[in-house]
Each structure stands twice: as C-alpha cells, then as structure tokens.
Copies of this chain bind each other. A is one copy, B any other.
Amino acid sequence: MNSIESVREALLRFRDERDWAQFHTLRNLIVSLNLEASELLELTQWKRDEEIAALHRDADAREALADECADVFLYLILVADAAGIDLLEAAGRKLEKNAEKYPVDKCYGSSAKYDRL
C-alpha cells in the first residue's frame, strides 16, 4: 500500500466482498475503533515505562503493535468514510487549530492542557 487512498479502496473491497456494509453503522465503527484502541493499550498492561519503551525491539511484540495499530487505522478509515470525512484534510485542519491552542511561547516544554496554560 502506498497511500491512504489505496488502503481505503482495498478495505472497502474487503468489506463489500463479505457484504459487511450492513453492520458498518457509524456507531458500530466508532465502538470497534475504541475496542481496537483498547487492544493496543492491553499490550502495555502490567508493564513498567522502560519495558514499554523496549517493546518495539522484540519481534513478536513489534508485530503485535503493528497489527493493533493497523486495526485502529482500518477502523478509523471506515469511520471517516461513513461520516464523509477526508482524514488528511481533517488532520491538517486540526494541526492548525492545535497550533492556535498551543502557542509555542506558552507551552514550550510543558505538558499542561491548553485550558491551564
């Protein structure tokens, strides 16, 4: 896959070959995205910060991370598709909003939320 558009096309074909569009309501897709995000979180369960930082150096753990990231990505593409959202455009606009909410001079080196800056 060399673009988000090619992933999207392959994914919609995968869905339609199985007649799954009927299950892909916006609600179900958002719930499924959350469940996949949880599976990613589960890979960090019971681990200390250093162990998590080292996860991607273990081949099995790295494949598990890649698979869960992919699952989140695939559902995110389906959510965006169902809601008529262009992910690349939405990301660009959100980065602009974030740049306004988090001006460099106020939040350099700080992890405080924007409403506490």
Give the CA-CA distance A59 to B97 in the complex, in Å.
17
Known: A1-B92, A3-B3, A31-B44. A55 touches B83 (CB 8 A): yes
Are A62 and B83 closer than 8 Å at their CB atoms? yes
Known: A7-B91, A7-B92, A69-B79. A26 touches B55 (CB 8 A): yes
| Copies of this protein chain in the complex | 4
Known: A70-B93, A73-B76. A40 touches B30 (CB 8 A): yes
A82-117 interface (Cβ within 8 A of B): 82-85, 87-95, 97-99, 102, 104, 107-109, 111
| Residues of chain A whose beta carbon lies under 8 Å from any beta carbon of chain B | 1-4, 6-7, 10-11, 14, 17-20, 22-23, 25-28, 30-35, 37-38, 40-49, 52-53, 55-56, 62, 65-67, 69-74, 76, 79-80, 82-85, 87-95, 97-99, 102, 104, 107-109, 111
Give the CA-CA distance A38 to B35 in the complex, in Å.
6
Are B52 and A88 closer than 8 Å at their CB atoms? no
